[in-house]
Structure 1
C-alpha cells in the first residue's frame, strides 16, 4: 500500500490542531478536543505524551519546522512531571516526548529528563509482590498500594531504555520482575488478559484478578489485550527471555482468533452485546504496533510474516473504515472507547491517533524502528542480561 495519502492526512489534521490546542488533548466527538482533566492531578497527564509523539513523528515525516517547534514547546511543558511518584504512566509520557524527541533530533540533551522520570517510576515498585503499583499515591490506601494493572506493561519501555542508556541495571531488573508478575497474574491460559491484579501487602501474595475498564473480572478488555501484546513483545526484544516471547505469542494468537471481520475489536472481547456494542479503534491501533514489534523480534520467520501482515491489514482497515475523513472531527480515527463501563465511548482518542501514526510510520518506513526501540547506540547489539531468570 502507498501510505503517502495517509501520512498527508495526518499532517493536515496535526497542523490544524497545533493552531487550536491550548492544553493536552484526550478525546473528542465534535469539532474540538476535550483536554486533560487537570483536577485529577498527575493522573490526568497520562495522555500527554501521545500528543508530543504525534508532533515528533509529524516532523520526521515532513521535515517542517512548524512540527519541530511545536514538539519542542509541548515536550518542555512535560518536564515538571519527571519527579512525580503519583502515576505509573511516566513511560507513556517521557518515552514519547523526551526519548522519541531526542532520537528524532539526535539530541541526547532531552534524555536526562527521561532518566529522572524512570527513577521516579521505580519508586512505585513493591518488592514483596514484585510489581509496580497501578493507581494512587505510594503511601496511599492499602487497596491502591496492593493493585497493579495491565496498562503498566506499556511503561516498561522507559525502564529498559533507562538501563541501556545509563548502564544501571536496576531499571531493567524491576521491569523484568514486573513483567513476570503480570504474566503469572493477568495472562490467562487462552492468551486473554485480565485488567487488574490485587496483592496482599504483608506477604506479596496474589489475591485475585479483577477489572476496572472491562466488562467483568473474567472478560478480556480489548485495549488491555493490546497493552499486553505490545508490552510482552517489548520485554522479549529487551531481554531475549523465552517466557516473554511465549506470552507475546499467546496474546497475538488470541487476537487473531477473536478479531471481527474488519479487524477492529469491540471494546471487550466478551461483551454480551456483540455485535451491537462499541468498537475501540485505539485498541486496534495499539495491536498493530504490538504485532510489528513482535514481528521484528520473532524467531520464527513464518510467524513474523503472519504478525506483520495482520498489523498491515488492521492499519489499512482503520484508514478505510474508521478514519475521520469527511468529518469536522480533528482526529485521525473515530469510534474509540475510553471506558465503556464509565460512559466514555464512541469518540476519538489521542492515544488511538498516536498508535495509528506509529503503525503507519513503522509500515511505511522500516528504517524508523530504532526510534521506538529500548536500545541506545551505546548498546546497539547486546540484549540486557538479567541474572536469575530462564
Structure 2
C-alpha cells in the first residue's frame, strides 16, 4: 500500500513538473485582455459602419485604420473572426450580436466570382467560426458556395489554385501560387465533408502535394511564390513577393506553411504531411531569436535591428498547439513548450498594446518590400493570437482542440 501511495505521489509530482511552464502562463488573463481590447475597438468604431473592418494601427498612431469589406481587401474576415472568438471565450450576447452584423457584411462573397485565393481567409475566419458556434444553416450555405467559387481558380494541369490572377500579366507569372494559399485549403476540406462537392477534397490534396514538392528548398524553408507553366504544369521558378529575397525565408510565409500542412494532416491523416510539417517547423524554430518572435525575414540584413513580425509568431503558436496533439511525447512536448514560450512573449508588455492602442499586439510587419505596415498592429496578428489562446486553454482543460465545424 505504501508503495502504491508513493508511486501516486511520484506521478503527481512528475505531472506537476511537466505542466509547470503551462501553469506559469495566465491564459485567462490574456483572454480577458483581448476581451477588453475588443470592447475598446467596438467603442472606437461608433457609430458603427458594419462594412468597415479594422485593418491596422501604424506605430505612430493609436486608432484603427479601417478598410471597406470587399473582394480586394483580404483581411476583412479577421475582425468578425475575432468577435466570434471573443464570444466563444466570454459568452457575451452583445459580442455575438456584433459578430453577426460584421459577418453579414461579407455574405456577398459567396455570390461573387473569385477575385483571388483569399476567400478562405475572408469567409472561413468569419462564417466558419460563426457556423461552428451557432450551427446556423445560412452560414453553412455561404461557406459551401464560397468553396465552390474558390475551386474555380484550380488549374488541374498545374495541380494548384491560382493565387493572384491579376499578376499573370502584370508580372508574367502564368500560374502563381503563394504560400498563404495553404490556409485557404481548410475551407475546401470542410466543405467536402459537410455537404459540398467531394472534388473539393481532391483539389485541396492536389494543391498541398504540388506545394510540398515544388515550393520548398532542400532545407525545408519555403519560397513565397511558385510560378508554374500552364502548358506543362512544371515549376518555372520560386520567388518572393513580401520577403527579403527570392532565396530567403520570409517569416510569415513559413508560418503559413506550418499552419497549412498541420491542417492537411488533420484532414487526411496522411503521415507524409506529418513528417513534412515537422521539418518545415524545425528550421523555423531553429532560427528564432531569444524571445521566440521572428524578425520579419530570417535573412533580413539588419538583424538584430530588423522589424519583428508578431503575426508570424501568432500563426505558428496556434499551429504548434494543434500539431503537438498528433505527435509522440517528446516531440509533442517540444512543440507545445515552444508555443507557450511564444505566447508568453506575445503576452508581455513588449508586445501587448496595453492602454496605448485598442489592438491586441504591437510589432507586426505586413509588407516590408512595399514599405507598408512595418512595425504595426495588424488585425490578422490579433486573430491568430486569440485563436492560439483559446487552443491553449482547451488543450489544458483536456477538451478537443480539434473541434471543428
Q: TM-score, normalised by structure 2?
A: 0.87
Distance 1:257 1:362 in 2: 24
Corresponding position of 1:69: 97
Q: Which moved more, 1:71-80 or 1:181-190?
A: 181-190
Cα displacement (A) at 1:145: 4.4
Distance 1:119 1:264 in 2: 36
| Structure 2 counterpart of 1:18, from 42, 65, 70 | 42
**In the TM superposition, what whole-angstrom CA distance separates every residue of 1:271-326 from its partner, at most 9, and x where no partner exists?**
1211111000000000101111211223x221112111111110111111311114
**In the TM superposition, what whole-angstrom CA distance separates every residue of 1:32-63 from its partner, at most 9, and x where no partner exists?**
1112267xx6221x111111111001111111
Corresponding position of 1:284: 313
| Structure 2 counterpart of 1:318, from 319, 331, 346 | 346
| Structure 2 counterpart of 1:309, from 334, 337, 360 | 337
2:168–2:175 Cα contact (<8 Å) kept: no
Distance 1:80 1:20 in 2: 26
Change (3 A) 1:264 1:220: same
Distance 2:273 2:65 in 1: 37
Query: In the alignment, does 2:363 pair up with 1:359?
Result: no
Distance 2:124 2:220 in 1: 27
Aligned 1:39-50 pairs, distance under 5 A = 42-44=71-73, 46-50=74-78
Distance 2:67 2:240 in 1: 23
Change (3 A) 1:139 1:150: closer
Distance 2:382 2:103 in 1: 18
Corresponding position of 1:32: 63
Query: In the alignment, does 2:267 pair up with 1:243?
Result: no
Distance 1:185 1:323 in 2: 37
Change (3 A) 1:19 1:99: same
Across the two proteins, how many residue pairs are aligned to each other? Answer: 368
1:136–1:144 Cα contact (<8 Å) kept: no
Distance 1:203 1:87 in 2: 22
Distance 2:142 2:169 in 1: 26
Cα displacement (A) at 1:143: 3.2
SS in 2 for 1:48: coil
Distance 2:87 2:157 in 1: 44
Corresponding position of 1:379: none
Cα displacement (A) at 1:368: 6.0
Gaps of 5+ in 2: 1-24
Q: TM-score, normalised by structure 1?
A: 0.90
Moved over 6 A (4+): 138-142
Corresponding position of 1:385: none
**In the TM superposition, what whole-angstrom CA distance separates every residue of 1:160-212 from its partner, at most 9, and x where no partner exists?**
00011116321110011001111111122212111001111221111100000
Distance 2:99 2:173 in 1: 34
Distance 1:14 1:35 in 2: 15
Rg (Cα) greater in structure: 2
Cα displacement (A) at 1:84: 3.1
1:131–1:177 Cα contact (<8 Å) kept: yes
| Structure 2 counterpart of 1:339, from 367, 378, 388 | 367
2:144–2:196 Cα contact (<8 Å) kept: no
Corresponding position of 1:383: none
Cα displacement (A) at 1:65: 1.4
Change (3 A) 1:156 1:208: same
Cα displacement (A) at 1:246: 2.0
Query: In the alignment, does 2:297 pair up with 1:268?
Result: yes
Cα displacement (A) at 1:142: 8.4
| Structure 2 counterpart of 1:116, from 117, 138, 145 | 145
Corresponding position of 1:55: 83
1:85–1:137 Cα contact (<8 Å) kept: no
SS in 1 for 2:233: coil
1:280–1:336 Cα contact (<8 Å) kept: yes
Cα displacement (A) at 1:144: 4.8
Cα displacement (A) at 1:224: 0.3
SS in 2 for 1:180: helix
SS in 1 for 2:273: helix
